[in-house]
Amino acid sequence: MATSSKQHAFASHMPSEKQRTTIRMREEQRRQTHLAELQALDGLRDVPLIELRYLVDQCVFRVFASDTTIISERKPGEFLYILLAGNLRLTLHDKEGHEVLLGVLGRGDWFGEGPLFGDYFRRAGIYTETQCYVLQLSLTTVRELLPVMPTFQALLQTIYRRRLVESTLARVPLFSRISPLERVMLAELLQPLEFPRGSLIVHQGACGDSLYLIEGGQVVVENDGKAIAFLDEGDFFGEIALLGKEPHTATVRALTPLSVLALPATAFDDLLKNRPDFQAQLETTVAQRRANTEQFRHDHDRVMQMTRIIEHGLLRGSHLLVRSPELCLPDCTLCEAACVSRHGHARLRMEGVLVGQQRVIDACRQCRVGAECVEACPEDAFEWNDKGVLLINDKCTGCGACVPACPYNAITRVPRTIETANGPLWQLWHTMKTRFRPPMMIPLEPVSPAYTHRADKCDLCDGYPDLACVTACPTGALRLVPVEELLPL
């Protein structure tokens, strides 16, 4: 009797069919209102209604107070946003550390799209100037939807490409001090070019026809066949030939796949006419680079040092593990033993290459761009974490393609360990899994054997609070240092 009463009470609180219909109608009405609001935004007017329906079902409404950081320049974002009301400023820092205003965003502008198309190193900060109302979408969800939203995907790629060009200009100190509007106008004159690894971009002795801005990738500058300089994202070259109306004084070769923005000579000349201050800055740069070339001509040790730095990939990442030989205790191997103890095998070698008084140990360089192991992997098993460390994820099948691809011999193929566990929770899980296992079936095709190996390399002890090798060093001889500290080139 009591049970019947409870059932009756429960049923009395259930919405009737009429009420459920009313709820559905209100939800659909609200959905149509949101669709109309999206269609009214300038940035979405060309997106088909069917694609907007995908968006409206995934959007979350957010409000941010003024002076709030929505996306940090130093931390990758997890969401895509569209601004409904309010103002935001978009900023980054140039190669000299100065903050640069990229622009101010208003109603209808998108932001946070960078991780969909670029990498960890191409980001800017987003900060509210007023109270802002936004729609927020998870980047994971957006990635899943893009294949069925071609117009929306093209829109985001256009936004990303424009901001990438403008941010490249902003990172170059030569252009970081001009206004956002001037950078937009200048960006329209730039011609994007792509070069494979090893390509010669400019040839010593050839006539100059463009100023080149490095959008992504790394190059080595060579004079008479000798390496004299290294340039990467945010640097420029080709200005000496254009300013002096003379042949190129050096050869520039791509160390990695390279993306550059070329400013044609005619546009370069017009720019100097309109901005005399640019010519003064460029002449200072030219004088410094000529002096550097002359120093290298007469300093065999510096040439050999630069050659070793490039051959060993010391500039491919942002940090290096170095040791001070004079602090190392005789026959001490505590750092290597700590690495083996934590990871099951050594991920580094202490010999390394000598740079000044420091020895850079042989380990993964955490290559920021154009990593050969990433290119060789058929399974997309490499990824960067939010600190710029290159990790090997669970997609690795142990095929070994990355091992010979690494030019620094930093990757090994090791047996895959099978983790076992004990204890009551593990025993319960094992029992439940066995009890509810589906009936055995004969497969129609042969089953592939389990993967027995995996790739392994130094990942700076990702997931641990410390570096095992550094912690184990009793004298402080081993350190992780920024590349700029060791090699202020």
Question: At which residue do the structure tokens 């960078």 appear?
Answer: 114
pTM for this entry:
0.74
Most confident stretch, 112-126, 164-178, 336-350: 336-350
Output the pLDDT for position 7: 52
- Please tell me whether residues 199 and 51 are part of one structural domain: no
Q: Check if the beta carbon of residue 253 is closer than 8 Å to that of residue 202.
A: no
Pair 235, 274 in one domain: yes
Convert the pLDDT of each residue in 208-262 to its tens digit.
999 999 988 999 999 988 898 889 888 889 999 998 889 999 999 999 999 999 9
Q: What is the pLDDT of residues 453-481, one digit of tens each?
A: 999 999 999 999 999 999 999 999 999 99
Q: Does 312 map to a domain? A: no
* Same domain as 270, residue 235: yes
The C-alpha atoms of residue 393 and residue 385 are separated, in whole angstroms, by 11
Please give the C-alpha separations between residue 351 and each of 80, 222, 325, in angstroms, as whole numbers: 46, 28, 10
Report whether 127 contacts 81 (CB < 8 A). Answer: no
Same domain, 54 and 164: yes
Specify whether 370 is located in the same domain as 463: yes
Q: Where are the alpha helices (DSSP H) in 101-258?
A: 114-117, 139-145, 150-171, 173-176, 180-187, 239-244
Average of per-residue pLDDT across 129-138: 93
For residue 158, tell me if it sits in a domain.
yes
pLDDT given for residue 302 in this prediction: 86
Of 142, 176, 210, the residue that ends a domain is: 176
Residue 221 lies in a domain: yes
Q: Flag whether pLDDT at 442 surpasses 50.
A: no
Residue range 426-451: mean pLDDT, rounded: 53
Query: How many CA atoms lie within 13 Å of 424's alpha carbon, on the beta-carbon side?
Result: 0
Q: 337 and 468 share a domain? A: yes
Q: Judge if 288 and 330 occupy the same domain.
A: no
Q: Are residues 39 and 165 in the same domain?
A: yes
Give the pLDDT confidence score for residue 75 in this predicted structure. 72
User: Considering 147, 176, 205, which residue would you say is the last residue of a domain?
Assistant: 176
Asked if the model's pLDDT at residue 447 lies above 80, the reply is no
Percent of the chain scoring above 90 in pLDDT: 43
Same domain for 168 and 200, yes or no, is no
Q: Are 233 and 219 in contact (CB under 8 A)?
A: no
The verdict on 369 and 414 lying in the same domain is yes
Strands (E), 248-333: 251-254, 258-264, 319-323
Q: Once rounded to an integer, what is the mean pLDDT over residues 297-323?
A: 89
Mean pLDDT on 185-201 = 92
Q: What's the rounded mean pLDDT across residues 171-196?
A: 86
Indicate whether 325 and 275 sit together in one domain: no
Asked whether residue 241 falls in the same domain as residue 277, the answer is yes
pLDDT digits (tens, 9 = 90+) for 390-420: 999 999 999 999 999 999 999 999 998 755 4
Answer yes or no: is 79 within a domain: yes
User: In whole numbers, what is the pLDDT of the chain averaged over residues?
Assistant: 85
Domains identified in the chain, total number: 3
Residue 149 located in a structural domain:
yes
Q: Residue 26 has what pLDDT?
A: 78
Domain that holds residue 345: 319-425+449-486
